[in-house]
Structure 1
Amino acid sequence: MDFFMLLLCCYGSNMFVINVVQSFSFDELVKCVCNKWCDLSADSITMFYRLSEYTNCHLDNNEELQNMLLLGKSIGVEGIDVVVEQKLGTNRHSSLANPCIEDEDQTNLLRRYCAHSEKVLLSSVWENDITHIGQCFTGGAFEFRTVLCKYAVQCGVQRANQFFYLKRWTKIHSCGADVRTSKNPRLNSDLVSNVVSERIRDIPLTRPTDVAYTFKADYGLDISYHVAWLGVKKAREAMHGDYLTSFDQLKWYGDAVQHYNPGSHINIDYDLKTSQFKRFFVAFAACINGFKYCRPLLFLDGTFLKERYKGQLLTATAKDGNQGLFPVAFAIVDSESESNWSWFLYELSKVIADDIRMTFVSDHNLGLLEAMPKAFPSAYHGWGQRYGEMTSNVDESFNNWIKEERNLPITKLVDTIRNQIMCQMSERRDIANKWNEIICPTFETNLQDSFNSNRSWNVSKANDDVFEVHSFLSVTVDVGRCVCSCYQ
């Protein structure tokens, strides 16, 4: 009497099931396989089967097929895995993506009327994270748990007694369902953190809603806002450090800067009673030395921070010889106030030469008007002129320069600004080494434009330094004192 057996035929990543009886022949099996995958022929394929502890058993003729069916019956299984492969030296076409369609009922009508390109989910590579028995995980148990979690989400893993068992390894994944749902209980915040960590490193402002959308669009998985938020939080702490711990690291960071970058000026102010952080000032040695070759002009400004404990960033910025942004010093304080501006300007006076008469430009920052005369009594102070002077550098303004970094923990913020200053100086040094003019390109261009537009003017000489220029409005120019009667 015939008995029934299910053959799970697998070719690459595609599978189909055949319900056979004992009288089913090997030629009939080959015909079914070749009809299913068009690029296969009887001469181009080889087959083997897996059954319980019997693996890679050859299936080449009718006798071996009958032995396989009898073995399956004696063991008491209802299905047998049959693996189909092409013989070496034969060409493999795209049958995996385009299997033969035997009748109209099997046609995917949705694809016919709603044509769209196949999308490869980013999670598809997760099934290859476990490769062989004896595989080494250099990250220890944490790395293995992460890899196993990704593997389980992608492939599906049966759980028994609350443990995972990896008894035997094969490269064909048949343990999961044909249809994988978009929700998976193993997709927790730790796995989300692992997936988005590099993105958080490059884009600190990444929002949980962005992460949730990415998992749906790129991985085909649904995660809640809470899981996304917690995953972003864990990734941010892993990449940039904890916000609270970062304040404790400031003292170590300040000591390291003064040791490895001599000439820098750093001051950390704490509450003497509570030892609570109050404010932090830093001027790196390269900035102090570079300002000696800039005009004695500083732009003062304050911007709020967005990290957990908020605060304000006070900055003193100059312009280099080519009208580029040149950070001189900055400080982190709890708020804009007369006390904090006075402290900032007092620390700033320690890194500026005493024989230079400074000019400061700022907005009407809170407390700055009262603090300025105390720290720099002889300095000029211009109000409301900042935007006119900085128009050419709007895109290079300091606040825009650190737009992303304002969300970082305090020590990471300070070090990121240091790195940006270092990279900026290096890039400008490389560019300047290619200049051939006597003056910087920006002023060379301005000089040429002025000469071309004013070459028709008549000039009368009064002495070696003073000249009268006859234009639409005649003016007197003293080149020795670098002044003009037009006050420009």
Structure 2
Amino acid sequence: MVTPSLTRVDLPSTSNIGNMIGSDISLPEQGRLLDFTTRLPIVPFDDAGFTNADLSLYSCSVDDPIDIAINQTFEDKSRCQYILRQFTIRNNFQYKVFYSTKKKFTVACMEDKCEWRVHASRMNGAGIFKIKTYKEKHTCGMSWMKSDHRQASSKLASELVVNRIKQRMGLRPKDIIVAMQDKYNIVISYNKAWRAKEIAIDRTMRFERCFVALGQCVRSFQTSLRRVLAVDGTHLKGKYKGILFVATALDGDNHIFPVAFSIGESENSNNWNWFLTYLNDSLGNLPGLVIISDRHKSLIKEVPQVFQASIHGYCAYHIYRNLVDTFKDKSLEIYYWQAVKTCRRADFDKFMHHIELANPLVHAWLREIGYEKWASSHFPGKRFNLVTTNIIECINALFKEARKYPVTMLIETVRLKIQEMFCKRRESASSFVGPLTPWAEKQIKDLIPKARDVCCHAISRDEYYIVGDYNDTVKPMSFHVHVVSLK
């Protein structure tokens, strides 16, 4: 048994995902191979903690001037709050938040009788914040001051060491405590230092995204499967949030066949473009390729842009759910699905006429989406009756528990599930008799009784003139006549 190879991966050079994904990449004939055995180096801090040389790694210098004034502007609210924290720490007093919304906030000195106060608000038409009111005179004493400053938050402490995190791993909370004491003469708690470390690591060493396609899956899709791919994304659960992007096909026995998957931070145009680009690179140029997806605005934009030679169809189930949510009308379900599945234009027009009579707004809404995107009779390519992305739901169920795992464990679980799936199918396939799979044989057997009621007259090797009725009950003297092409 050949071990599947990972054909493509893209990771940040200093990704902190358990230090299990390595950076040793080789380039075999089929894509790229990821070596899971190589680990990223870990350089621990020595017992001395911070040294004088480490001061250059601080995110801001101790001597940086910090001041505030009326009419002073900041790029956003967060920056304004950061400067205020720095200002109060360096001037040895604390403030409390008197009022705060997305558009404005007011802070005042911790001493109730003190007149010191700052009010800032967002400027019209921009995210820029401007100090509108500033009473700089203090009328309080220092008897209420404590060693642990109110504005010395975990986020502020993380800013102090973020550049250090970028260059070396192994930072300890007590190193952050020492750094805060050296720079601000403030002693923060161990818990606050620990949270600061977590914030700094999350900002600088956070996993971004990866793409995985097993070599055998890609080659099988290229050479042996129907060229229809369903793509969708599902949310990761538990502590580790993100999106699992999946591209799935159906094999010869109509079972789900995972082709590729990716993990990203969110479902947006940038991540969809990244996933589809790597998927396109892995599959190569496949004539007649069909991509089926829901109508997420990012997919509507990115699929035609990346797969320029493919045909993009929409999931009929998602369209139906949107129809019900928009018009609150389930009475048209039968006519809708008949319009989706029929292959004859005459029948499609009949079903759409029923919809128009019942609800003209629904008819206009479906027409605006584009019949060629969801109706089999108008679809310009071969989608082999795959009108929904429901096969993705099967994948979601298969990986339900794995979606709670950290990234490296999730990747390994997905790979193991696929391995077990193919092993079972290989054993099952060894018992097949004849050139067709059990599913394909059943499809043919179900059509034989209907085929007895029609007559086929050859026009050429690939075209036939069909006379008959495809209904289960044939009505005397009621026949349909049309031409079928096998090209």
Query: Structure 1 length as normaliser, TM-score?
Result: 0.43
Q: Work out which structure has the larger RCO, using CA pairs closer than 8 Å and 6 or more positions apart in sequence.
A: 2
Query: Structure 2 length as normaliser, TM-score?
Result: 0.43
